[in-house]
Amino acid sequence: MTTSLSRRHTLGLLGMALMPSLGPCTAGVIAGNPSRHLHLLGRDPSLHPDSDIIKQPKASVLTTIDYGSGAARQTILPMEGGHAVLRCSEQHIICTAQHGPKCLVVDADHAIVTELEASAENLFGGHGWIETGRRLILLPQRRKIALTKADVGSLLVFDSLTFRHLDTIETEGIHPHEIQPIPGRAELAVTHYGDIAHPDAVLQHNVLDPKLTILDAVTFRPKRHYPLADFGAMVTHMSVDEGGFAYLALTQFVRFPKNMSYGDVVARLERYLGRPLDYDIPRAALEQRLLAVPLPVIKIDTQTGSRHTIRLADRYHLRSQSVAYNQTCKCAIVSYTHSDVLLVIPHIGEPTIVTADELGISSLTGVTDVAGTPYVAVSTSFRDSVIYDLSERRVLHRFESRNYLDTHISCLA
């Protein structure tokens, strides 16, 4: 079935794919990048206009967009907690889960090749990493119920050709989430949420041991830890620059009960922060009853642990989502969903803000580098994705699509 994703469409049975031609882009094919694809993984298929036909609620929606032509394929997959996509071979990509029991390997047509299952009493933790030289897949997993520092997560190691499970390696931290290589060194960095199941009286996440951990890239075993508990937040997403500095995003929320007046909601957050708000609480925060704590970006030296906090006005640091690094422009980019902005952090000079209005979108979520260019790809929760030129500060491409609470976006060759 072929149609436009910007119009009402029907997927039919679970797992049936669309190959639509998306609406016109704002430019033609991007020179030199004909083989790239954008991948998005939405965790809420109920938002699909034909959701009444979906018989399996624990599903995700995979969208693949041809970077040059705009042609796309969209498929409902039988996996819960769809979070991110990574390439494990020329033929296959992996759809990773957050808080789900399985990840799926699919081919270019979105046909399921195999399932990768979490260990007993564990769930997958979010992202993953491919060690191309040894053809290995690393997928983080967390304990289903973590109560103490002893309830550490681990990395599942699979063969990327046979998908056979090879090893399970503990990371010495609670809920490992995102893995990134450290350029020029045989090391990997991994973030740890550090959250436990005991409820907190005020906060959404009871954080016990959040940290950045450095792993040996050969054995995948921990070498050193950089604790970050003083921020009272989960250490979630990260990217590492060519100098070995990691840019870390933090996440925490203040809860509030139903039927609380707006004034009381504001007062509740101000009491926690110990200062007055300089912004209006975003509608998304009120609807979700989760008040994002304004938290800085942490720039940390992965070799020494020395760190620097990067903070603008509170209104720009609400509900971090993705972190990317663009080598061409030599800057880190952090997306903030409730602020609806990108924070651009250059090596030299002051951080700047790119608003969703500048991008022509709303409810932005993920951001990823388009390797070898000054571009980043930016996704949203509900509609459209864009290619943004950091050097010229303009939208280069727009892809019209219906999204399904897509969290991250990947740009893969």
Identity at 382, one-letter amino acid code: F
Q: What is the pLDDT of residues 352-384, one digit of tens each?
A: 999 999 999 999 999 999 999 999 999 999 999
Q: State residue 24's pLDDT score.
A: 31
Q: State residue 20's pLDDT score.
A: 36
Which of these ranges, 38-52, 271-285, 372-386, has the smallest mean pLDDT?
Answer: 38-52
Q: Greater confidence, 8 or 205? A: 205
- Kindly list the distances between the CA atom of residue 360 and the CA atoms of 33, 66, 384, 394, in Å, as whole numbers in the listed order: 23, 21, 9, 10
Q: Flag whether pLDDT at 22 surpasses 50.
A: no
Q: State residue 54's pLDDT score.
A: 52
Which residue in 137, 152, 230 sits closest to 192, CA to CA? Answer: 152
CA 178 remoteness from chain centre: 8
Q: How confident is the model at residue 55 (pLDDT cuts 50, 70, 90)?
A: low
User: Which residue in the block uniquely carries the two structure tokens 């071979």?
Assistant: 89
What is the rounded distance in angstroms from the CA atom of residue 137 to the CA atom of residue 117? Answer: 13
Q: State residue 33's pLDDT score.
A: 54
Q: How many CA atoms lie less than 13 Å away from 180 in the CB half-sphere?
A: 23
Q: What is the pLDDT of residues 222-249, one digit of tens each?
A: 999 999 999 999 999 999 999 999 999 9
Q: Is 213 helix (H, G, I), strand (E, B) or coil?
A: strand
Q: 321-343: string of b/e by CB count within 10 Å (b at 16+)?
A: bbbbbbeebbbbbbbbbbbbbbb
Average pLDDT, the chain: 90
Average pLDDT of 259-285? 96
8 Å CB contact between 300 and 306: yes
Q: Greater confidence, 249 or 69? A: 249
Average pLDDT of 58-70? 91
Q: Flag whether pLDDT at 263 surpasses 90.
A: yes
Which of these ranges, 8-17, 82-91, 114-123, 333-342, has the smallest mean pLDDT?
Answer: 8-17
Q: State residue 106's pLDDT score.
A: 98
Residue 66: CB partners within 8 Å, gap ≥ 6?
37, 72
8 Å CB contact between 325 and 247: yes
C-beta neighbour count of 208 within 10 angstroms: 17
Q: Flag whether pLDDT at 45 surpasses 80.
A: yes
CA 359 remoteness from chain centre: 19
Return the structure tokens found at 280: 């209006």
CA 19 remoteness from chain centre: 25
Q: Greater confidence, 176 or 1? A: 176
DSSP 301-318: ETTT--EEEE---GGG-S
User: Which residue in the block uniquely carries the two structure tokens 């280069």?
Assistant: 396
8 Å CB contact between 95 and 77: yes
Average pLDDT of 165-191? 98
Which residue in 272, 315, 321 sits closest to 294, CA to CA? Answer: 315
Q: State residue 336's pLDDT score.
A: 98
Q: State residue 51's pLDDT score.
A: 57
Average pLDDT of 174-194? 98
8 Å CB contact between 62 and 48: no
Q: Flag whether pLDDT at 6 surpasses 80.
A: no
Q: Is 277 helix (H, G, I), strand (E, B) or coil?
A: coil
- Interior CA angle at 112 toward 64 and 138, to 5°? 80
What is the rounded distance in angstroms from the CA atom of residue 247 to the CA atom of residue 122? Answer: 28
Q: What is the pLDDT of residues 316-329, one digit of tens each?
A: 999 999 999 999 99
What is the rounded distance in angstroms from the CA atom of residue 84 to the CA atom of residue 94? Answer: 8
Average pLDDT of 83-104? 96
Average pLDDT of 288-310? 98
What is the rounded distance in angstroms from the CA atom of residue 75 to the CA atom of residue 58? Answer: 14
8 Å CB contact between 231 and 210: yes
Q: State residue 324's pLDDT score.
A: 98
